[in-house]
Structure 1
């Protein structure tokens, strides 16, 4: 059987994604019931971090431990990756010693080049272009609170960044309408918009974009590597804050998500994480459960 990778949501079919999310919720219930699971006993996940992380590292490392396996933390400071070894050389060696490889980095080409030579499944744990693991957690969270997201309206508020790109993928895979509210000049990639067709709309007025929406989602205004743009972006995005007023024009029972870390007083108001529609903390926890399901699927080739 050929090696399967998870570099974007498009690497899995809708049927596989649905099964994976169902399994994630099953694993969540199992963990809370105190059941012990050793499905990945003696399996090893290599975790390559070129970008800092809290939720990604904790969720993958804890997930492997809870499934009976082990996780190795690798950073450029501690490996030859930081001394100029070609990514393909590292890929061949690391994948020959690990059962799966998780990479969190800047350039998306790093994960695609690694995957092109890898003997083990490769997971994109965030690049500048995509963040598919977060979308698994987001879709699981919506499903647990509101059921199937098919036919729903989702509004993305903020920069057309990697999270926005993955929401475009999700709109096509899960069959929902996506509205993107961003300042002119901060739209997501044109090729992704063209591919999505009428599944996705760019609406520059956040109030108009949020009206009647079932889910509002945002992210920080300046991502990692854009810190020098923080002040300028804060001025440009000032009217794109998610707050109770914006939630007030959304559909009744609308949910709010944020991938974290959050900057209170910037992309969200100070009270937004405690808003009745906020499911942010469950969304964060679901990184653990969704990724455990993903690890079983990629390493074992099945979900049971």
Structure 2
């Protein structure tokens, strides 16, 4: 029972073969879903979804995944949980672990999700912290595998804010799986050294390359995947103007894509600010005169854009993670 009872808190919790297994299992579960074949590996279980930070995709994906697996999900929002406020994280973990069969946590602190996992006695899955976004990675690399059927020789370039949870996670996951990875970001937004050195260690084993550069024009040459994310992460709104000015050269637009590989896809973990059809987008347009931020609508709506497949794949991959760690499946030793 190789995965059984394990938590999924960051990508480096699992080795290369284990991560590949989760990706392949997610692709398999997607086929079952499309063919209406039942896969209730968590029948009779109860799953708690703890959301200190709000979410569309992660919440929807965990809820549908739990239901498809035969489990009952219970959503507990920031108004329902008292983590560290009225009740310590360890006390909360012990209580919820005694009632539920698994816990998802989405919030700011990686330390909180680690502490939940240490005390819950049931698997804990990280739905996003400020440091890592591991469930996003299984869905993202699932999308890349569906497209290219391998990671070897695939060049992934992330353009934008290089020190957020998505950039950290992409850097480490790509290096682990053997894809070549470049983070193109302004020097002030380079990823922290700890993530870069971890990625380089993995790259040595997998034979991939890791590059951190501020020269986005040369970075994107021959890219197979260009990935971007919002310029201002949750809770950083006061840095808005400075961030917009710093990151405008890293906008993914038609001009930037002039020299990408013939086999090319665009990816975005969403939400994306590619137009003014949101209150947020309207405010930015009024205040800064910018109608498109990290990606232009022309790119976002192109036939090589995969952000919606990627979004759907969040659900299949989260299902794979929950089933593998809590479904009593036979999984060979993947060392």
TM-superposed CA distance for 1:86, in Å, is 0.8
Question: 180, 184, 188: which one pairs with 1:185?
Answer: 188
Question: Is the Cα–Cα contact under 8 Å of residues 172 and 196 in structure 2 kept in the other structure?
Answer: no
Q: Which position in structure 1 is the counterpart of 2:172?
A: 169
Question: Is the Cα–Cα contact under 8 Å of residues 53 and 78 in structure 2 kept in the other structure?
Answer: no
Q: Which position in structure 2 is the counterpart of 1:86?
A: 88
Question: 23, 31, 52: which one pairs with 2:33?
Answer: 31
Matches within 5 A, 1:151-166: 151-160=153-162, 161-166=164-169
Stretches of 4+ aligned residues off by more than 3 angstroms: none
Task: Give the distance between the partners of 2:78 and 2:92, measured in 1 at CA.
Answer: 11
SS state at 2:75 partner: strand
Q: TM-score, normalised by structure 1?
A: 0.96
Question: 288, 292, 295: which one pairs with 2:319?
Answer: 292
Q: Which position in structure 2 is the counterpart of 1:50?
A: 52
Question: 239, 246, 251: which one pairs with 1:241?
Answer: 251
TM-superposed CA distance for 1:79, in Å, is 3.0
User: After the TM superposition, which of the residue ranges 240-249 and 203-212 deviates more from structure 2?
Assistant: 240-249
Q: Mark the runs of 5 or more structure 1 residues left unpaired by the alignment.
A: none
User: After the TM superposition, which of the residue ranges 9-18 and 275-284 deviates more from structure 2?
Assistant: 9-18
Task: Give the distance between the partners of 2:173 and 2:330, measured in 1 at CA.
Answer: 21
Matches within 5 A, 1:122-141: 122-141=124-143
RMSD: 1.6
TM-superposed CA distance for 1:274, in Å, is 1.4
* Number of residues of Structure 1 aligned to a counterpart in Structure 2: 304
Q: Which position in structure 2 is the counterpart of 1:213?
A: 223
TM-superposed CA distance for 1:25, in Å, is 1.1
Q: Mark the runs of 5 or more structure 2 residues left unpaired by the alignment.
A: 204-208, 275-291
Q: 1:3 to 1:66 in 2, by over 3 A?
A: closer
Task: Give the distance between the partners of 1:271 and 1:93, measured in 2 at CA.
Answer: 50
Does 1:222 pair with 2:232? yes
Does 1:120 pair with 2:122? yes
SS state at 2:73 partner: strand
TM-superposed CA distance for 1:66, in Å, is 1.1
Q: TM-score, normalised by structure 2?
A: 0.87
Question: Is the Cα–Cα contact under 8 Å of residues 242 and 272 in structure 1 kept in the other structure?
Answer: yes
